[in-house]
A and B are shown apart, each in its own frame.
Chain A
């Protein structure tokens, strides 16, 4: 007996072969004969075929309803999410708690870009001879978060890697230059200590106290939209080039756990964050329901075959080719599935409309969801019908007419007695 994988593989090959244009053309030429035959077979057993159609229709209705609910939720969240129009592609994080909003004229922004040492000199300070390193205006500064290292006022923590590259030691003076509308301005910090940075972003950052950082930003002046003033309620940070939105969000959340985050981005990204947990289970549920509908189709199609073995055998005996009988069974099932699909699409639309009107949920049915339902339903039907049709194709007229057990691929020594299975 062939292994299951071999059987499935062969089945896939036969399935593709059955869709060969030549074979379909041949069957198409015989449609005047097989079409009425298929229709007659469907009409003779209306209850059974109604069951098949209803199975598929139910699966499509559930699929469409869940799709509409998922999409509606995502759109709903996106609508309720503030999208800030900022002067640049920035992330804004408010230092307040849940519900805090940034001022509309958010202005302070410090570029979070590359790090560059532009100068290094020795200075005499009250604490002795110290090395001073000047950083470029676009040097990285990072307000220390509550869980991170905390330098005091006028102090800075420097990543060890950076310190070694620049020859810095604790006690050295670090001068940060910032460019303001009025010119270049510098701020000096004492290197209070070195730290091991586990984060790429931190590895190139100099940590200064929050107040110092904010004061430094004050030096930037008015900025594009607002005046310099008291400590702002919000600090804007440019996204580091190369970072992903999700990475940066996570980092900011870790540094500002008490803060409220706002971001400018695609609603889809926001929606994903908000309803990401909902989409995946919904997708699983609706696909599973359609597959269960396919299982119903399979059971009925198989029953239809097994009860008509003799008739199908006679058809073969009279000269119908194996492929023709194969396509005939698909045609019969296809007629019913088409009806079920139409019913399902109409029913799904009606259910979505009814729920949208009668409940607080926002449900939105999209063309892509309808297309997805059609494609999945057709695929489920095809896979469900393939086994019965293949059993019939492979059986000889004698096997069918004698009502013998049918096998997908019986071994040459198999007596087809049915003791080990078969259909």
Chain B
């Protein structure tokens, strides 16, 4: 399951899997607010990218645009060669279904479903056969250490457990990229460390591409690329050794 692991030290695939070009987003509040002024970003395949910056600098807005959850005012996003501007709402939904995984700060599991049903949901939306759904769900819950809580609803899980399930859900359809918005923002330090380790493991062993918005310095420590934002723009872009990122 997932992509074959890359040995440590080997250069990651330099081809950008996700590219944002002159991305901007204006909200019609008062005379208009440019939450994102102009962002150019290329995320290499298999990279672990962390976006950081002060509150209100546009991190979440950028993530929403990268994930196709919102439409930019200007610019475009291209994922695996597919431009979002050429997709209608149905097309974006289909893209999110199969190529993008999301991890939210407040977990956002569906409370009517159990843990395993939450993990299986993206696969069911994608129309995978039941047998494959069952086996992948079991494997994901195993990989995230949640097999023993598969039949529990979110109300019966702790914050850390819910986030683990959310990570499993995000990886359900083996997406091209996982976008995480403050995944440890609502967790204590122990659970935060566990989640960070989960991300690192999937990135290291499966070659999963991650873009994480976080204030947590733990994420930036192990990132391949750190994007520092301020006032809706990229202030600094720091690439770490061995990434070959653009």
Binding site for B on A (CB under 8 A): 32-33, 37, 40-41, 44, 310-311, 314-323, 396-398, 401, 412-415, 417
Contact = CB atoms under 8 A, between A and B. Distances in A.
Given A310-B108, A417-B29, A317 B102 contact: yes
Contacts of A323: 90
A322 B93 contact: yes
A396 B93 CA distance: 11
Contacts of A37: 112-113
28 contacts: A33-B121, A33-B125, A311-B110, A314-B108, A314-B110, A315-B110, A317-B102, A318-B96, A318-B102, A318-B122, A318-B125, A319-B94, A319-B95, A319-B96, A319-B97, A319-B122, A320-B93, A320-B125, A321-B89, A321-B90, A396-B69, A397-B70, A398-B69, A398-B70, A401-B104, A401-B108, A415-B28, A415-B30
Contacts of A314: 104, 108-110
B111 A311 contact: yes
A332 to B, nearest CB: 11
A398 B121 CA distance: 19
Closest 8 CB pairs of A and B: A319-B97, A40-B112, A415-B29, A321-B93, A314-B108, A397-B69, A319-B96, A33-B124
A414 B95 CA distance: 28
A322 B89 contact: yes
B112 A319 contact: no
Contact of B125 (A44, A319, A413): A319
Contacts of B126: 319
A364 to B, nearest CB: 45
Main secondary structure of the interface of A (DSSP, over half): helix
B28 to A, nearest CB: 5
A413 B28 contact: yes
A194 B113 CA distance: 93
A412 to B, nearest CB: 7
A319 B93 contact: yes
B191 interface: no
Contacts of B29: 415, 417
B24 interface: no
A78 to B, nearest CB: 55
A414 B111 contact: no
Interface residues of B, number: 31
Interface string B156-178: 00000000000001000000000
Interface string B25-50: 00111100000000000000000000
B64 interface: yes
Interface of B: 27-30, 64, 67, 69-71, 89-90, 93-98, 102, 104, 108-113, 121-122, 124-126, 169
A319 B64 CA distance: 14
Given A398-B69, A414-B28, A415-B28, A318 B112 contact: no
Given A319-B96, A417-B29, 20 more contacts: A33-B121, A33-B125, A40-B113, A41-B112, A44-B112, A310-B108, A311-B111, A318-B122, A319-B95, A319-B98, A320-B93, A321-B94, A322-B93, A323-B90, A396-B69, A396-B70, A397-B70, A398-B64, A401-B69, A415-B29
A310 B90 CA distance: 20
A319 B111 CA distance: 18
B80 to A, nearest CB: 16
A398 B71 CA distance: 10
Nearest to A313: B108
Nearest to B111: A311
A311 B98 CA distance: 19
A311 B121 CA distance: 13
A406 to B, nearest CB: 15
Nearest to A396: B70
Contacts of A317: 67, 69, 96, 102, 108
Nearest to B124: A33
- B93, B94, B96, B104: residue with the most chain A Cβ atoms closer than 10 Å: B93
Contacts of B96: 317-319
A85 to B, nearest CB: 69
Nearest to B108: A314
B136 to A, nearest CB: 15
A139 B133 CA distance: 92
Nearest to B95: A319
B28 A412 contact: yes
A156 B142 CA distance: 111
A311 B28 CA distance: 26
Contacts of A33: 121, 124-125
B110 to A, nearest CB: 6
Contacts of A41: 112
Contacts of A414: 28
Nearest to A410: B28
Contacts of A44: 111-112
Contacts of A316: 93
Contacts of A32: 124
Contacts of A318: 96-97, 102, 121-122, 125, 169
A333 B98 CA distance: 29
A317 B181 CA distance: 13
B209 to A, nearest CB: 18
Contacts of B30: 415
A397 B126 CA distance: 18
Contacts of B93: 316, 319-322
A316 B97 CA distance: 9
A397 B94 CA distance: 14
